[in-house]
Structure 1
Amino acid sequence: MALPTSVVSAKPASHAAGLLVFFVREGEKLAPVDGALDGLLSRCAKEEEFTGKEGQVLSLHTHGKIGAERITVIGIGKEKDADRTLEQLRTAASRAVKLAKSAGAKSLAIVVPAADAAQLQSLAEGASLGAYVFDRYKREKKPLKLSRLELLVDAKPARALTDAARLGCEIADAVCAARDLVNEPPRYVTPRALAAEARKMAQQAGLKCEVLGRAQIEKLGMNLFLGVAQGSAEEPQLVRISYEPARANGKAVALVGKAITFDSGGLSLKTAQGMEDMKTDMAGAAAVIAAMRLVAALEPPFPVRGYFGACENLPSGTAYKPGDVIVGKNGTSVEVLNTDAEGRLVLADVLAWAVEDKPAALVDLATLTGAILVALGPWTAGLFSNDEQLANELLACARRAGEPLWRMPLPAEMEELIKSPVADLKNTGGRFGGSINAALFLQHFVGKVPWAHLDIAGPASIDKERGYNARGGTGAGVRLLAEWIRRRAAVSPPARAPAPKKR
């Protein structure tokens, strides 16, 4: 749950708080309350060589000389561009919350550098993201004493500023919900449980949610999906979440998430170490569920639909096998060479299903390949797209949201690597260019719809704390999708009321 956050007009020197935080750019003067502290802040800064470099921290107890009990100055480095500034503020706000937590402060006041809506949103986001902890299964919990976050501005805050802070909290709340799903053990987040979470979210947000079981999936001809699912006793679940505005203006957009709730590799079994984090293989679906929650809050003038096919990939006497040929929903036959390349098979059928709704644009998110980590490292997602405008939109939204994203190629000449001698395609293309081969495979199931594939295998889960992301699930993709929907809504003309009927 997001921190209780408010935008307050107040003078920092007299404002009562457990911890008062200022942000300082490299080389800038220190906080204006230095005079009220008889210059103690500047003297300590000189002694500790504090210059405002990004990540530097200077903390003091005020001994009652100003309204706050403690004061902290956090360096945010040099100014580069507007998007980078927002990320610096998210990170610094997260740091402020962690300092307040370690100090046992019950209230935190952050002095807002500029009365700008985007900055208010980023501060609210970063603070609540930094407060996140997954300790559900720990015997000893450390409850957060911090009960109030105040963002201090000079004048009475305009509604745009309070709305921005509220949106930042809503986004952080949705991201943390996605993190929870990714962090939960696979014995609890089964395909049925994930579908139930989608249904619960939809009910709370006023959205429609359809959940289909094995028999209905079979009727739809989704044999690739069922092939992956057949090794597990858990029933597969096919989910579509729909947002429909009262007066729709424009075609729908579609969001698709990979939802392998546990991936053992199937008969092409992973190593024990390779299986350790495979509860996170449903991070794409978690992002879609969380993003649809935000769609309901953003209320775009066009429909938005979220899809995922949830199942487990396990070895058993009924599991699909290397050498199998399976015909997918759109009629494409696939030779299975490796049962551990299962995500693209399930996604293929779900993408083909989503395309039948004729969306204006289609974005999928998947922890699809280890190869993308080799290419881009652990913190950057790979972007593959058949549409230049859509790709550029997503890159711009990723920069604004603070989610690193890099455009990858879809070279036609590499198609021969996924051609099969016995079927239309094979589900692996060899050792080299693995993430590209996977994206090329998916492209066969989207037709001519503008489509983007985000391979989030790196940033979906991290092995140690980094900035405002705690160890474990990060909620990768949620903020990017929210920004993308928000921007598309901003450029869409408002829906017209239906014309009155002639009598």
Structure 2
Amino acid sequence: MARKQATAKARTGKATARKQPSVKAAGTPAIELAADALALPVYEEDVRAGGRGRVKALDALLGGALAAAVKAERFAGKAGQELSLPTLGRAPAGRVLLLGMGPRGKAEAWPSTGFEPLRHAAGKAARAAAKAGARALAVALPEDGVEDVAGAARALAEGALLGAYAFERYKSEDDARRTPLAELTVAVPAGAERRAELRDALELAREIGAAVAWARDLVNLGPADCTPTLLAEQAEALAREARLAVEVRGPKEIAALGMGMFLGVTRGSSEPARLVTLSWIPRGAAAKKPPVVLVGKAITFDSGGLSLKPTESMVTMNTDMAGSAAVLGAMRVVARLAPPFPVHAVLGACENMPGGKAYKPSDVLVSYAGKTVEITNTDAEGRLVLGDVLAWAAQTWNPALMVDVATLTGACMVALGHTTAGLFGPDGAAVDGLLAAAGASGEELWRLPMTESLKEQLKSDRADLKNTGERWGGAIAAAHFLHAFVKDVPWAHLDIAGPSHAPKERGYVAKGGTGFGVRTLVELVRAHRP
């Protein structure tokens, strides 16, 4: 019964089912704020020799209990340290959380990372507050060392909202659920709370928090629930809510377009494929400007096909559509930003399954671009679908900028781990824009080379290309395969195989789907100048 109820929830016609906490700024001194929990980022200097500033004032309110706890727990304000203390009615907040930020001098580098240390600290505070049953959380900027108040406040708000996330759709027992965050207050210097810049920053944080949470929800769904049809329905629901244009094509329309690689991947599955286009189109002459195009890999379950994965590698393959979730999440925010140029999101959604009709190693598929591709491994399916979608998008719109986001290769995860995405592409606006956007958002990208010698691995004796090369340099070879289908369009590829799914909690990142990529794509669109 619990599974049936969960499935029904997953198939509602709403793209944004989560209730979002209220978010506001307050110029009241942090230790005077009434909340269930108060989080204070502190430097090492703030807790030395009995403390200074608000730490010292708070200790006085608590009758020396804070200083005693600092000493007993050996809390020194080092980066990553936490100290939680109930106030027992001696302060307006029911609980105080000290968040170590390291030496004050390191705060100078925070703006270049989008204030990521503050985002992580606030995420940890929100998780700790939820475990303590808090519904109202206040987080404060450090007392000094921060000049960009709006940027720092946005990072704190984003971190708290993302840290409060929990995926509980399949939990049937109420006592297994966390207390949801209902109110978030960001304490800022007096007077700053009235600035429009700060209000806009917090509103953007709230939108991004909701978009990332939605993307995480989609990634965390089981594959019986998150089918290609469900992804298309979610895109349609978002279009209705955000006044975006949407078009959904089924197998017949995909075949009519000549997307032989896409359809080849789908042959083993009973779930019908969907080609989904979601578009923001401004009014007037701006509608004719060259668009930004975001393409997301949308393999809703990847068994490997006839090149079957082992069980342990298949368990997390419900997350193989994380690229599409990132693109959909970004489009939710794009609709609010209303940029003066078109933005299109495209998803080629399908499953990769074995079966009597499944595509086979040694098959030769004909792509939308007319190139023939020899199949050497059916578990390299994502690049086939993306190749057709990228070629179609490039020809349809001639974009000013095109980015694909995909859980493409295990090789990239071996190279960069679970927290960093690989960035590939020729020099130009797409790569430069993504690097700048990642720096502004706090998400970690690392550019990897498009080494020409590895392109040779894709040569086929029977067709124009093979879909895989050697084991070594696999992420680079995959990027070369995609590049063959984008022609001269400014393009970049994000391989998010590592950071799309977290094996454990970290900062504001919950275990499971992370929503990685949403924030970077939003910043890319915000910074784009046609």
What TM-score bracket applies, with the shorter chain setting the length? over 0.9
How far 1:83 moved relative to its partner? 3.1
Question: Quick one: which amino acid aligns to residue 496 of structure 2?
Answer: I
User: Do the aligned partners of residues 4 and 358 (structure 1) sit closer, same or farther apart at CA in structure 2, a change above 3 Å counting?
Assistant: same
- State the alpha-carbon separation in 1 of the partners of residues 297 and 502 from structure 2: 18
Give yes or no for the alignment of 1:378 onto 2:418. yes
Give the alignment partner of residue 90 of structure 2, picking from 61, 65, 76.
65
CA distance in 2, matches of 1:75, 1:107: 21
Matched, 1:176 2:213: yes
Q: Secondary structure at the match of 1:28?
A: helix
Change (3 A) 1:55 1:365: same
Give the 5 Å matches for 1:160-175. 160-175=197-212
Between 186-195 and 243-252, the greater mean CA deviation after superposition: 243-252
Task: Tell me how many residue pairs correspond in the alignment.
Answer: 490
Post-superposition CA distance 1:194-246 (Å, at most 9, x none): 11111111111110000001111111110110111111111110011110111
- Higher alpha-carbon deviation: 129-138 or 409-418: 409-418
Deviations 1:350-398, CA, capped at 9 Å, x for gaps? 0001101100010000111111111111221110012333212211221
- Contact 1:248–1:301 (CA<8 Å) still a contact in 2? no
CA contact (8 A) 1:12 1:33 kept: no
Paired residues for 1:423-434 under 5 Å: 423-434=463-474
Task: Give yes or no for the alignment of 1:246 onto 2:283.
Answer: yes
Alignment of 1:116-127 (within 5 A): 116-127=149-160
Q: Return the alpha-carbon distance in structure 2 between the equivalents of residues 193 and 168 of structure 1.
A: 27
Output aligned runs, 1:232-243, within 5 Å. Answer: 232-243=269-280
Equivalent AA in structure 2 for residue 423 of structure 1: A
Q: Shift in Å at residue 121 of structure 1?
A: 1.1
Indicate whether 1:297 and 2:297 are aligned: no
Which residue of structure 2 aligns with residue 131 of structure 1? 164
Match of 1:155 among 176, 190, 195: 190
Cα distance in 2 for partners of 1:350, 1:429 equals 21
Task: Determine whether 1:334 maps to 2:373.
Answer: yes
SS of the counterpart of 1:465? coil
Measure how far apart 1:15 and its partner are.
2.5
Which residue of 1 is the match for residue 479 of structure 2? 439
Task: Give the gaps of 5 or more residues in structure 1.
Answer: 493-503
Counterpart position of 1:499: none
| 1:221-232 pair list within 5 angstroms | 221-232=258-269
Q: Tell whether 2:66 aligns with 1:41.
A: yes
- 1:448 aligned partner: 488
Residues 306-356 of structure 1: per-residue CA shift (max 9 Å, x gap)? 001111111111111111111101111101111111111100000001101
Which has the higher mean CA deviation after the structures are superposed, 34-43 or 396-405? 34-43
What amino acid is the match of 2:219? V
**Residues 1:146 and 1:416: Cα distance change in structure 2 (over 3 Å):** closer
Q: Choose 179-188 or 101-110, whichever is displaced more.
A: 101-110
Q: Residues 429 and 45 of structure 1: is their aligned pair in 2 closer, same or farther, counting only changes over 3 Å?
A: same
Counterpart Cα distance in 1 of 2:306 and 2:75: 57
Pairwise mapping of residues 40-439 of structure 1 onto structure 2 (< 5 A)?
A: 40-78=65-103, 79-80=106-107, 81=109, 82-84=111-113, 86-113=115-142, 114=146, 116-141=149-174, 142-144=177-179, 146-156=181-191, 157=193, 158-249=195-286, 250-356=289-395, 357-439=397-479
For structure 2, list consecutive stretches of 5 or more residues without a partner in the other structure: 1-17
- Deviation, 1:42, is 3.1
Identity of aligned residues (%): 50
Secondary structure at the counterpart of residue 169 of structure 2: coil
Question: Between Structure 1 and Structure 2, which shows a larger proportion of helix residues?
Answer: 2
Cα deviation digits, residues 275-295 of structure 1 (max 9, x gap): 111111111111111111111
Normalising by structure 1, report the TM-score: 0.94
Letter in 2 for 1:404: E
2:372, 2:249 → 1: CA distance?
A: 23
Deviation for aligned residue 1:49: 2.5
TM-score normalised by L of structure 2: 0.89
Distance 1:21 1:248, change over 3 A: farther
The equivalent residue for 1:26 is: 44
* Amino acid corresponding to residue 257 of structure 2 in structure 1: L
SS in 2 for 1:58: strand
Counterparts of 1:462 and 1:36, CA distance in 2: 40
Taking the aligned partners of 1:146 and 1:272, their CA distance within structure 2 comes to 36
Task: Pick the aligned partner of 2:32 from 4, 14, 27.
Answer: 14
Could you tell which deviates more after superposition, 215-224 or 5-14? 5-14
Q: Is the 8 A contact 2:164 2:181 kept in 1?
A: no
Distance between the aligned counterparts of 2:155 and 2:62, measured in 1? 29
Q: Assess if the C-alpha contact under 8 Å between 2:298 and 2:349 holds in 1.
A: yes
CA distance in 2: counterparts of 1:132 and 1:145, whole angstroms: 8
Aligned equivalents of 1:437, 1:71: Cα separation in 2: 51
